[in-house]
Amino acid sequence: MRLVKRLMGAGMALMLTSGIATAQDWLPEGADVSGIKVGVTTIGPSVNSYAATYVEEFERYSKELGLNIIMLDSQADPARQSNQVQDLIAQQVDVMVIWPINAQAIVPAARQAHARGIPIVISNSKIDDSGKEFTKTFTGPDDYTQAKKAGGLMIDALGGKGNVVIVGGTPGYTVSNLREQGFRDALEGTDIKVIDAQPANWSRERAQSLMENYITRFGSDINGVYSADAGMGTGALAAVQAAVSDGKLPADHGIAFTDATLFAAGYDAIKRGEYYGSILQSPKEDAQTAVRAAVLIGLGEDVPDLMYMKTPAVTKENVDEFERPVF
């Protein structure tokens, strides 16, 4: 595999964790990235608005840099994604960016790309530990820590006691697993009990349906709802509001909502006081960090093993300090 001549000091790579870039201010003068071919396979823009914004920003920022990319949509299918890695190998890309759908299923394909000398950036969702040796870096959120922060918000909201239900992501997906485990670990030592946890596959509509089922089963025993992201969280909120309107829940029965990734609808709900809190995670920063890592690797530079994004907690008390998400 061809690597562009080293143009930067190693210290430059460490700057990539500090937020959204402005134009090419992180590149050295005279650097030409147009000769670097980057192959990308993502979870797919149709999964939710976060993924759609990520893909849009990845393409926009790459075009701004003059980077040559091949963007593939796996349509949330692990087998399709593995085949896409094979396709990118055949197209002799210089660097590969993979947003894994399934942490274990992607390992054999990553091994093959590594064997062909293609460095890999794992983006947004981590690969299984057995595949880490085949990758250069991970870029994106620390999902476990975000979930623990969301758990802390739930503890604050409920005063450390009560019953909560979990609205999860897609079973087997690393992000889903980390966002549930981090939340559960945060509740240890409190009197908050998780009375059920079911997946909603990152779908607002499925989350609303799941919450309707939770209300039928548990009614006013539910004190809190934790969702893996605010897209699902606001779906669950809609179900609660409908149940109150229909008399299935008492109007004065407050239910606290928290989640691990803030969407625009969640931002609005926090401002209205209907939703307790969320964790800010920018899909634009997520995409840009992956692009910058790929470029640095293509230039022959070393990059950190982990390149986490900043993800602050957001509640009604500080929501005005942050811009409304675009997704």
pLDDT in tens, 167-190: 999 998 889 999 999 999 999 999
Structural domain for 288, as ranges: 10-141+283-309
Q: How sure is the predictor about 31, in pLDDT bands with cuts at 50, 70 and 90?
A: confident
Q: How sure is the predictor about 25, in pLDDT bands with cuts at 50, 70 and 90?
A: confident
Mean pLDDT of 127-134: 96
**Percentage of residues in the chain with pLDDT exceeding 90?**
85
Q: How sure is the predictor about 3, in pLDDT bands with cuts at 50, 70 and 90?
A: very low
Are residues 79 and 150 both part of a single domain? no
pLDDT of residue 32: 87
pLDDT tens profile 61-116: 999 999 999 999 999 999 999 999 999 999 999 999 999 999 999 999 999 999 99
pLDDT of residue 23: 52
- Residue at 161: amino acid letter: K
Q: Is residue 42 part of a domain?
A: yes
Provide the Cα torsion 131, 74, 113, 62; round to 10°: -110
For the whole model, what pTM was predicted? Answer: 0.79
The residue among 238, 261, 279 that closes a domain is 279
pLDDT of residue 48: 83
Are residues 274 and 292 both part of a single domain? no
Q: Is residue 58 part of a domain?
A: yes
Are residues 149 and 271 both part of a single domain? yes
Asked whether residue 17 carries a pLDDT value surpassing 60, the answer given is no
User: CA dist 63 to 22, 33, 66, 67, 226, Å?
Assistant: 14, 11, 5, 6, 38
| b/e map 7-23, b = 16+ CB within 10 Å | bbeeebbeebbeeebee
Q: What total number of domains does the chain contain? A: 2
pLDDT of residue 326: 85
Are residues 217 and 263 both part of a single domain? yes
Those residues with Cβ within 8 angstroms of residue 208's Cβ, 6 or more apart along the chain or in another chain: 235, 236, 238, 239
pLDDT, averaged across the chain = 92
In CATH, what number is assigned to the domain containing residue 161? 3.40.50.2300
Q: Is residue 147 part of a domain?
A: yes
pLDDT tens profile 289-306: 999 999 999 998 889 999
DSSP 222-256: --EEEESSHHHHHHHHHHHHHHHHTTSS-TT---E
Are residues 158 and 236 both part of a single domain? yes
Q: Is residue 122 part of a domain?
A: yes
Overall size of the chain counted in residues: 327
Q: Is residue 320 part of a domain?
A: no
pLDDT of residue 314: 98
Mean pLDDT of 244-260: 96
Are residues 241 and 293 both part of a single domain? no
Q: Is residue 318 part of a domain?
A: no
Q: Is residue 2 part of a domain?
A: no
Are residues 26 and 96 both part of a single domain? yes
Residue at token pair 């999902």: 143
Quickly list H helices, 159-229: 174-187, 204-218
Q: Take residue 16 and report the two structure tokens written for it.
A: 């990539």
Phi/psi-derived region of residue 19, left when phi > 0, alpha when psi is between -120 and 50, beta in every other case: left
Are residues 194 and 246 both part of a single domain? yes
- Residue at 253: amino acid letter: H
Q: Is residue 325 part of a domain?
A: no
Q: Take residue 30 and report the two structure tokens written for it.
A: 């005279």
Mean pLDDT of 130-154: 97
